Amino acid sequence: MNKYARSIELLNKAVGMEISTVLQYIYFFERCQDRGYELLAKFFRNTAIQEMQHIDKLSERILFLEGDIDMTPAFAVKQIHDVPEMLRLSQQLEATTIDDYNAWAKECGANADAVSHRLFEDLVKREEDHEDDFRTELDNVKTYDKHYMALQAIGHIKDLAAQKPEDDDDE
C-alpha cells in the first residue's frame, strides 16, 4: 500500500475539479467571443489557462508519489448564456475550490505529506485571486449594467479597428 494513497486521492479529486473548471471557462470564453465581448472572453480564456497549469502541478505531484492521474471531470459543463450568471457560477466554483483545497492542505499535512500540503496552500492563493477577480466583475456588471456590456462590445470593435486591411493600397 502506497503510504501517500490518501494524498493521491485528494490530488486526483483536485485534478477532476480543475479539468471541469477549465472546460467551464472555455465554454464561457467561446460564448463571450461569439457575442463580441472581447475583454470578458480574454479574461475567461486566461483564467482557463491558469487552471490548466494547476492540473499540471497536481499531476506532477501525483506521478512523483507513484500514483496515476485520473483525468475524469468532476462535474458537467453548465450551458449558461447570461453574463452575470457566468460570473456568479465562476465565483461559486472558486469559493468551493478554496474550501476544498484548504481542507485538503490540512489533511495532507496531518498525513505527514508536507509538499502536497504546501501545493494545496499555494493553489488556494491562486484561487482566492480568481474569486476576487470574478467578484469584482460581478460587482461591476451589477453597478454599470448595460454600460458594462456596451464597454465589452466596444472592446470588440476596438480590436476590429486595430486590424490591418489585407489588401489596402491606399495606406
For Fe ion, the binding residues (CB under 5 A) are 18, 51, 54, 94, 127, 130
CB closer to Fe ion out of 34 and 60 = 60
Helices marked H in the chain — which ranges?
A: 5-35, 38-64, 83-110, 114-162
Residues 6+ apart with CB under 8 A from 64: none
CB closer to Fe ion out of 18 and 113 = 18
Residue bearing cell 476590429:
160
CB closer to Fe ion out of 135 and 156 = 135
CB of 75 to Fe ion, least distance (A): 14
CB of 123 to Fe ion, least distance (A): 6
Q: Which of 75, 51, 54 minimizes the C-alpha distance to 11? A: 54
Q: Which amino acid is at 20?
A: S
CB closer to Fe ion out of 31 and 130 = 130
Q: In whole angstroms, what is the distance from residue 69 CA to residue 89 CA?
A: 27
CB closer to Fe ion out of 34 and 129 = 129
- The answer to whether 40 touches 152, Cβ cutoff 8 Å, is yes
CB of 140 to Fe ion, least distance (A): 19
CB of 25 to Fe ion, least distance (A): 8
CB of 107 to Fe ion, least distance (A): 18
Q: In whole angstroms, what is the distance from residue 121 CA to residue 98 CA?
A: 9
Residues 6+ apart with CB under 8 A from 122: none
**Other beta carbons less than 10 A from residue 145's beta carbon:** 11
